[in-house]
Amino acid sequence: MFEIYQLEQLLAFAEYGTLSGAAERLHLSQPALSRSMQRLEAELQVPLFDRQKNKITFNENGRMAAEYARQIMEKCQDMIGRVQAFDRSQRTILIGSCAPMPLWEIPPVLSDLYPDRTISSEMRENDVLLQGLRDDVYQIIILPYPVEEPGISCVKYGEEHLYFSLPPAHPLSGSKGLYMRDLNGETMLLRNRLGFWRDVTDQKMPDTRFLEQEDLAFEELVKSSALPSFATDVVLRRDESPANRVNIPILDEEANVTYYCLYKPHGRNDLSAFFKTLPTA
């Protein structure tokens, strides 16, 4: 039976079109590559090349073999990736989220439930998260919308509602509710690494100057600053808002989000204790 490396060599020839180019790419001598291709032909029991003096080209057999070789190599890479992902999943739980809030809550719960496993998390774009779940990169992802797709389960995780956090002297601090356009054009403090929320603010407040700050610096600046910022009901429920701020609900539909927890069906068995903590799971 032929070897995987021979298929790699065949694909190198398909890419470069000459033995010399393929050999250079593979760091082989040209005679060594030629002998390897001859052995591949012997294994397949068909000629793959038209050979002329100082020239070798694919025949129709060779072109078909190269196409099958490409498919086989893609399957091999897929196998490697999936086996490695499965191995990681036995030792590490990787959560991907579209926003910070779920990552404030989920990793501590998982750490308590699975002390013998490493808990990792990251924020990525929605499409990246979904493809990562399909490819078994993540065990759990959080998206701001439900997904109906074969092989993926989806349950409601929770909600988040944004507020404007204003100093009492701000002209709008007495409002019962505000739209994002009401503060568009002002200068605001903004926590960095907001996930999809940053896209929302850019779209709804294009003329606003945002001063982005790291988490720890952001909290301290809000306490002492006269600039508006955002707050979330997740923090407000814990009564962690600075005393010298007025928090006003944002009325835009985009500022009120329902999160969904997505996972593969086999992941529910592996992380059954976690899913029991979700009220709608």
pLDDT digits (tens, 9 = 90+) for 253-266: 999 999 999 998 87
CA proximity to 96, closest of 206, 234, 195, 214: 195
Q: Does domain 90-156+258-275 have CATH number 3.40.190.10?
A: yes
Radius of gyration of the chain (CA): 28
pLDDT for 84: 76
Q: Residue ranges of the alpha helices (H) in the chain? A: 4-16, 19-26, 30-44, 60-91, 100-113, 126-134, 196-204, 215-224, 233-236, 265-270, 272-275
Parse the chain into domains and list their residue ranges. 4-86, 90-156+258-275, 158-257
What are φ and ψ of residue 17, in 5° steps? 80, -5
The dihedral built from the CA positions of residue 265, 271, 272 and 276, taken in this order, carries a sign that is negative
Domains 90-156+258-275 and 158-257 share a fold: yes
pLDDT in tens, the chain (281 residues): 888 999 999 999 999 988 888 989 889 898 999 999 999 999 999 999 998 888 889 999 999 999 999 999 999 988 887 777 777 666 788 999 999 999 999 999 999 998 888 899 999 999 999 999 998 889 999 999 999 999 999 999 999 999 999 999 999 999 999 999 999 999 999 988 899 999 999 999 999 999 988 877 787 788 888 899 999 998 888 766 667 889 999 999 999 999 999 998 876 777 888 888 887 65
Q: Does domain 4-86 have CATH number 1.10.10.10?
A: yes
Q: Does domain 158-257 have CATH number 3.40.190.10?
A: yes
Burial of 254 (0-12, 13-18, 19+ CB in 10 A): middle
- Residue 98, amino acid: C
175: left (phi over 0), alpha (psi -120 to 50) or beta: beta
Residue appearing with tokens 């808990």: 119
What are φ and ψ of residue 184, in 5° steps? -60, 130
